[in-house]
Homo-oligomer: A and B are copies of this chain.
């Protein structure tokens, strides 16, 4: 399978001929260049993929939830059939270990099947029926019915840090396809071969289930060129992105400047603050240090939910810090996903040591090889933290900053923090009950609030909120993980006085799909 990689884009059911070389997969740990050469889609090919997506929309968006679910399930099955290829190529391109790649494949197919289940059940469309009252005074009431409908073709940008679960057939693709939107994927340069294997699986599934051509395309050539071309194109009606703040805000700007502005769902940067209250330390400082260490170094610290900021009261926590120091110093170097992440990690962890009052609490004493990161923990007083806004910045990788202050000072700083995906509070139940204003302030800054736990490990379920106020995401009204993600690609539409036979099945009198609906009269 892997020997058959072509290095070209998927333009609907065709493969592009490509033109200029866009790059290769590269083994991060060795710098080895992997075959084949990946070719950027030409402007004509991009145009063709978008025209096919536009043409597919009226067909695909009218397929029943059951039929679309068949497509999603077929994608899952096709991905499972090539899991060994995914692992083989994925290890080479990402330096992620086999268990992680198998686990992430499992999450990816799990997400596809979760959305399949959601749209087979069908109630997610929020069907609302207000029946006519012809005799109402002073004026008759018309029959009005509404439900959610898909927005149109969606552009999905692959994430470097989730080569499967937030890439070609990841969360954004699954939720957009589930909603009824064709998807145009912009592949990430960091794992082009893994992307091609997955794209082939999706295309096989589309053929097997008779989907209209253009329901799915994958473009190589990079976010700044091909990606911007796609986002600016009138066919595209929404954008899903996971990546850097610079990349996300550039897409927001392009989308806002279009003749028709469109929504951008960009998941960008978050330091996921942790607040430790004294009672949590009393339960066992070393255990807490071990759990925190495991969280901020998980996956070489390359998670959006990595805890990069810890508020620890002054005068307590010496054993916590001692254990954290010994764990960090004894930790081994980990290979990052690619050279640019390594450069950014090196730069951000170097820059922070130049900030007034910042001390290096501990750094791994191991030796870093090519594109490797050494886990590191910094410490600063809350007074210095408040003086330097840059200390709120993300250091993407295995690094964290401990901020020391009184509990009152910690409480005062929370409302000034930037928007975050998550915040965690470690405390006793009694402290939690007393510190309601602290909890409220944390809630106001985040999408997910965690008690006595750590933010890494994002459960894919109905109640997950993986989104938060800017700049953690571009739009805190939305989540990229969990079933609520389907809402980002929809809008409500109402039908007034339509005959029953001309209504969508979801809104017909007999409720043939047997979905939950809100009915008046």
Residues of A within 8 A of B (CB): 58, 62, 128-130, 139, 141-142, 144-146, 149, 151-152, 252-253, 256, 260-261, 263, 419, 429, 432-433, 437, 439-441, 443-444, 446-453, 457, 459, 461-465, 467, 469-471, 474-479, 484, 490-499, 501-502, 518, 520
Contacts and interface: CB of A to CB of B under 8 A. Distances in A.
Contacts of A520: 461-463
A57 B470 CA distance: 18
A459 B141 contact: yes
Contacts of A497: 450-453
Contacts of A494: 447-449, 463-465
A207 B437 CA distance: 24
A476 B495 CA distance: 16
Given A444-B58, A493-B449, A499-B432, A465 B146 contact: yes
Given A129-B463, A463-B144, A498-B451, A58 B492 contact: no
Copies of this chain in the oligomer: 2
Contacts of A461: 130, 141, 144, 520
B463 A146 contact: yes
A389 B498 CA distance: 31
A477 B265 CA distance: 13
A444 B471 CA distance: 32
Q: Which of A252, A443, A502 has the most CB of B within 10 A?
A: A502
Contacts of A141: 459, 461
Nearest to A103: B138
A43 to B, nearest CB: 23
A302 B453 CA distance: 56
A144 B129 CA distance: 31
Contacts of A128: 462-463, 484
B252 A463 contact: no
Contacts of A469: 260, 491
Contacts of A453: 142, 496-497
A146 B432 CA distance: 19
A492 B470 contact: no
A139 B260 CA distance: 45
A148 B409 CA distance: 29
